[in-house]
C-alpha cells in the first residue's frame, strides 16, 4: 500500500513520474486499517529534495504509512519557502503528546560545530529524549546519527583531514541480521561528511552493534540490540545526482573539494554518475518498516508504556527477529 501524504506536497507529483505509488489523505481514509505513523525531522537545507528522497524509499512498501514532517521551531531555513514550511511542517510542541511507530532524524550541515554550539541543539535534545518514550524505532542519518550517538551514549566525533565524499563499499559484519537481510556481503553507500565518530567508544557501549563498515572510513550502520535506535553514517536515501550537485556547488563556491570517490565513470565529472546503491537502500527501509510493523503495539499509545530501557534485550528476544539468526 502507498504512502499517505498531505495533499499538494510537491514530492507527490515528482514521484508519480517515477511510477512511485503515493496517495493523498482523502483516499487513504477509505481504507479500514491502522497505518504506520512516521515522522521525519528534516534538518537538511534543501527540504523538498530531502522530502522526496525519503518518500521515495518509504513508498516502496506494502504498508500504508501516515507521514508527518517536523521542523525545528527556533531555526528558520534559508533555502525553502516559508509558505512550504507553514503548510507541510509541524512544530514539536504540536506533536509532543503524539506517538509514532517510526522516526527519521536527518543529517544537517553543522558538523564543523560542537554539538552544544548548534543553535537548535537544546530543542534537538528535547526531541531525542521524547523519542525514547513516544517512538518505537528511530532512524538517525549522517550528522543526525552522530548527534544521536553523542546524546544517547556520549560518543564523540572528530574532524577529518579530508572530506569523506563518494560511494564507498561497505562490508556486512553479520549477514544474518534482520535489518540488512538480503544485502550482498558488499554494498555501496554514499557518504558526504567532514567528521567521523569515535569507533572505540562505540565498541565499548554494550547495547550497540555494528552491522556494516568500511575499513578506511569506519562504521556505517549501527543499531541498539533491540533496534529501537538505528544510526546510519552514510546517505542511502540520496538520489542519483545529489553528490554531483554537491560537487559542483562547492566548486562554484571555491571550497576545497575532490571528485567524489567511485561515482563518476572514469572520474570524469562530465559523465553521468552510476547509481549503485538503490536496491540496498530500498531493502534496508523495507526491512525497517517490516520490523516496526511486526513489533510496534497496535494501540500506538502503548509505546509510552514500554518499561524496558532502549538497548536492553537483543534480537533473540524478538520472535520475528529470530527468523534471521543462524
Residue 26 and residue 157 in one domain: yes
Residue 230 and residue 249 in one domain: no
- Cell match 514532517: residue? 69
Q: How far is CA 251 from the centre of its chain?
A: 27
Res 23 pLDDT > 60: no
Tens digit of each residue's pLDDT (9 = 90 or more) over 74-115: 877 788 889 999 999 999 999 999 999 999 999 999 999 999
- Which residue range forms the structural domain that includes residue 264? 240-274
Active site residue 207: no
Catalytic residue among 51, 123, 142, 170: 142
Q: Residue 142: how many CB atoms within 10 A of its CB?
A: 27
DSSP track, 174-228: -TT-STTTT--SEEEEEEEEEEEE-HHHHHH-TTEEEEEEETTTEEEEEEETTSS
Tens digit of each residue's pLDDT (9 = 90 or more) over 129-143: 999 999 999 999 999
Residue 136 and residue 247 in one domain: no
Residue 250 and residue 132 in one domain: no
Active site residue 142: yes
Residue 221 and residue 269 in one domain: no
Question: How many percent of the chain have pLDDT more than 70?
Answer: 86
Residue 187 and residue 204 in one domain: yes
Residue 282 and residue 187 in one domain: yes
Residue 207 and residue 244 in one domain: no
Res 317 pLDDT > 70: no
Give residue 325's pLDDT band: very low, low, confident or very high (50, 70, 90): very low
Identify the CATH number of the domain in which residue 162 sits: 3.40.50.880
Model pTM?
Answer: 0.88
Residue 176 and residue 265 in one domain: no
Greatest mean pLDDT among 168-177, 195-204, 297-306: 195-204
Residue 53 and residue 173 in one domain: yes
Give residue 320's pLDDT band: very low, low, confident or very high (50, 70, 90): very low
Can you tell me the distance from the alpha carbon of 147 to that of 145, in angstroms, rounded to the nearest whole number? 5
Q: Residue 309: how many CB atoms within 10 A of its CB?
A: 12
Residue 162 and residue 83 in one domain: yes
Q: What is the pLDDT of residue 310?
A: 83
- DSSP secondary-structure letter at 276? -
End-to-end CA distance of the chain: 31
Residue 105 and residue 247 in one domain: no
Active site residue 84: no
- How many structural domains does the chain have? 2
Amino acid at each position: 500500500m502507498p504512502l499517505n501524504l498531505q495533499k499538494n506536497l510537491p514530492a507527490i507529483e515528482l514521484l508519480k513520474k517515477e511510477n512511485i505509488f503515493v496517495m493523498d489523505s482523502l483516499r487513504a481514509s477509505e481504507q479500514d486499517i491502522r497505518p504506520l505513523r512516521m515522522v521525519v525531522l528534516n534538518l537538511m537545507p534543501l527540504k523538498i529534495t530531502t522530502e522526496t528522497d525519503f518518500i521515495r524509499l518509504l513508498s516502496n512498501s506494502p504498508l500504508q504509512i501516515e507521514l508527518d514532517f517536523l521542523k525545528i521551531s527556533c531555526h528558520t531555513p534559508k533555502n525553502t519557502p516559508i509558505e512550504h514550511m507553514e503548510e507541510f511542517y509541524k512544530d514539536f510542541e504540536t506533536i509532543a503528546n503524539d506517538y509514532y511507530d517510526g522516526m527519521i532524524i536527518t543529517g544537517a550541515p553543522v558538523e564543523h560545530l560542537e554539538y552544544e554550539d548548534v543553535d537548535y541543539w537544546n530543542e534537538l535534545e528535547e526531541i531525542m529524549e521524547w523519542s525514547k518514550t513516544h517512538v518505537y524505532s528511530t532512524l538517525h542519518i549522517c550528522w543526525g546519527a552522530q548527534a544521536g550517538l553523542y546524546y544517547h551514549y556520549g560518543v564523540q566525533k572528530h574532524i577529518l583531514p579530508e572530506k569523506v565524499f563518494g560511494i564507498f563499499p561497505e562490508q556486512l559484519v553479520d549477514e544474518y541480521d534482520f535489518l540488512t537481510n538480503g544485502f550482498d556481503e558488499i554494498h555501496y553507500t554514499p557518504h558526504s561528511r567532514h567528521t567521523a565518530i569515535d569507533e572505540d567508544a562505540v565498541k565499548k557501549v554494550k547495547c550497540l552493534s555494528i552491522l556494516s563498515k568500511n575499513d578506511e572510513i569506519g562504521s556505517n550502520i549501527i543499531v541498539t540490540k533491540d533496534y529501537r535506535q538505528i544510526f546510519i553514517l552514510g546517505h542511502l536515501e540520496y538520489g542519483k545526482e545529489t553528490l554531483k550537485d554537491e560537487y559542483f556547488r562547492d566548486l562554484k563556491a571555491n571550497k576545497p573539494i575532490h571528485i567524489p570517490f567511485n561515482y563518476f565513470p572514469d572520474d570524469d565529472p562530465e559523465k553521468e554518475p552510476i547509481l549503485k546503491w538503490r536496491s540496498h537502500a530500498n531493502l534496508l527501509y523495507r526491512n525497517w518498516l517490516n520490523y516496526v510493523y511486526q513489533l510496534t503495539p497496535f494501540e500506538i499509545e502503548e509505546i509510552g508504556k514500554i518499561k524496558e530501557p532502549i538497548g536492553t534485550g537483543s534480537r533473540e528476544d524478538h520472535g520475528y527477529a529470530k527468523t534471521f539468526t543462524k
